[in-house]
Chain A
Amino acid sequence: MADGSLTSPGGIATGDRPEARPVRFRGGGFNPTSPRWVGAAVFVVLIAFLEWGTRAGVISNLTMPRPSDVFATLVDLARSGMLWTHLVPSLTRLAVGSALGTLAGIFVGVMIGLFSVARAGLVPLVAALFPIPKIALLPLFVIWFGIDEASKYALIAFGTFTPTVVATYGAVDTVDRTLIRMGQSFGLKWHTIVLRIVLPGAMPGILSGLRVSLAIAIILLVAAEMLGAEYGIGAYILQAGSLYDLERLFAGVAILSLLGVLVSAAIGRIEARLLRWRG
């Protein structure tokens, strides 16, 4: 067909052959992929630009610290051992708080997904709690749980709880009902249907909700540490900020960004493991 030898189907003798041209291609697109190196290249270019700018004087030292100085600060921090002094309490708060919040959120979300009473009673409540800036409640948490770790756990837990609930019950709602009917038709026990059909079916939605709620957890971690914490990444940043020490400020921010990237990668690994069946 490509050679244009196709004659018109009606066999009408027109003398000269009609012009043959390729059909215009109009498919493709709408299918973004992510080549590995592009993401890294964006960081490299951005940092190289800042380094050049601060060295050349295009960017004044007051507006942006030099990336190499920030890096040196990070190295110092690691050498002096202060990095761990700040990182360990922060990671503990993040782990305890978000574990409490997401587990409670998944539990409540599944309840809302399964029971009419829970749905009718809790959906409006969650909708009312969701938009409250949790940072605003920090003084309240201090009164309830004291100035120590408990109030920080509570703040992070509360902040991760609501998005997890919303993601979970949405995910439970999308579980294929025919699979649940199948479970009933085989006489499976109620808890088997919940554990083996509803939860795995909701897992993709729960995990993508987890991405959001863990990012929120990191934001709230800093907020919590700005109040009454001696050590922690948040405390470190706050200290640096009040002294206008931009190198240390950016060193702290870089640690948080890295933490975000690591958490996201960790969820990616969990997804790859738990959602192997999607191929």
Chain B
Amino acid sequence: MDLRLNSISHRYDDLEVLRDISLDIPAGRIVCIVGPSGCGKSTLLRFIGGLEKPTRGEVLQIGEAPADSLNPLTYVFQDFALLPWRTVEGNISLVLNDHGVRGREAEEIIADVLARTKLSEFRTAWPRQLSGGMKQRVAIARALAVNPAALLMDEPLSALDSQTRELLMDDLVGLWTRAPFTAVYVTHNLSEAVRLGHRIVVLSRRPGEIREIVEIDSPLAGRDLAEPELDARQKHLWALMRAEAEAADKELAHG
């Protein structure tokens, strides 16, 4: 299942947020969207998953999602969005039960996703007992449990410290390498984009427009930011974003 964004524009009252965004998201690849803060990248992600409607343009799903996918478009949020009154397994069983998966079948899925995210021994822990990195791994496990056709990740590592971020990036690369998934990954962190993205979309400051699309073909598993080629890519991206970020920083907040 591919996704296609067809000239999406959006405005809140008289504030133009996004302008004419067209983009293809091919199956099995990670598309990173980077841009300065306030450029509308998270808004764009909410359009892709149908949580919000753009003023103009449309998001198309091309082809059917796999039949065993319970929730084809699944988010991973920046602040984890775990229910604090449910244990690790309770957070996962909530979304499974509501899609009619119960009992043994649910048990198996939970055991599988917890093993994949290295959380098996924390099955009955409360979210408050977990570190930020663990919470995000639970959120990733929950997302994997519904077998999504595309993962929509909204700055998933931005609330974490830099060491945890490194570890989780390795985990994501490992997950993708074992079973490639489609993902749209929104971030303001260029090194995350260069590590995880097959295609990096650079947005301008508000109103967000596509400045450039950078393709990186080297396999995810082998990427090392010390490589001159990746380093050059990151420098190039920063050169594109620098002026935008500077100007965005000086804007007054709206609303």
Of residues 178 to 235 in A, which have CB atoms within 8 Å of B's CB atoms? 178-179, 181-182, 184-189, 192, 196-197, 200-201, 203
Question: Contacts A186-B71, A192-B98, A196-B94; is A181 near B81 (CB within 8 Å)?
Answer: yes
B126 contacts A181, C-beta separation under 8 Å = no
Q: How far is the CA of A23 from the CA of B86 in the complex (A)?
A: 44
User: Counting CB contacts under 8 A, is A36 at the interface?
Assistant: no
The count of A-to-B residue pairs whose CB atoms sit within 8 angstroms is: 54
Question: Contacts A277-B128, A278-B84, A279-B126; is A189 near B79 (CB within 8 Å)?
Answer: no
Distance (Å) between the CB of A270 and the closest chain B CB?
14
B83 contacts A185, C-beta separation under 8 Å = no
B83 contacts A189, C-beta separation under 8 Å = no
B85 contacts A187, C-beta separation under 8 Å = no
Chain A contact residue count (CB 8 A cutoff): 20
The binding surface of chain B is classed by DSSP as: loop
Chain B residues near A192 (CB, 8 Å)? 94, 98
The binding surface of chain A is classed by DSSP as: helix
Chain A residues near B128 (CB, 8 Å)? 277-279
Return the chain B residue nearest A193 by Cβ. Answer: B98
Contact with A along B96-121 (1 / 0, CB 8 A): 00110000000000000000000000
Q: How far is the CA of A178 from the CA of B77 in the complex (A)?
A: 9
Contact with B along A48-72 (1 / 0, CB 8 A): 0000000000000000000000000
Chain B contact residue count (CB 8 A cutoff): 24
Question: Contacts A277-B85, A277-B126; is A188 near B95 (CB within 8 Å)?
Answer: yes
Return the chain A residue nearest B143 by Cβ. Answer: A186
Q: How far is the CA of A189 from the CA of B100 in the complex (A)?
A: 11
B98 contacts A188, C-beta separation under 8 Å = yes
Q: How far is the CA of A192 from the CA of B96 in the complex (A)?
A: 12
Among A182, A189, A279: residue with most chain B CB under 10 A: A182
A185 contacts B49, C-beta separation under 8 Å = yes
Q: Given A178-B81, A184-B51, A187-B98, output 16 extra A-B contacts at Cβ < 8 Å.
A: A178-B77, A178-B79, A182-B81, A185-B49, A186-B71, A187-B70, A187-B71, A188-B95, A192-B98, A200-B83, A203-B85, A277-B84, A277-B86, A277-B126, A277-B127, A279-B129
Q: Would you give 21 A-B contacts (Cβ < 8 Å), ordered by A?
A: A178-B79, A179-B81, A179-B83, A181-B51, A181-B81, A185-B49, A185-B71, A185-B74, A185-B75, A186-B74, A186-B95, A186-B142, A187-B70, A187-B98, A187-B99, A188-B95, A189-B98, A192-B94, A196-B94, A277-B128, A279-B129
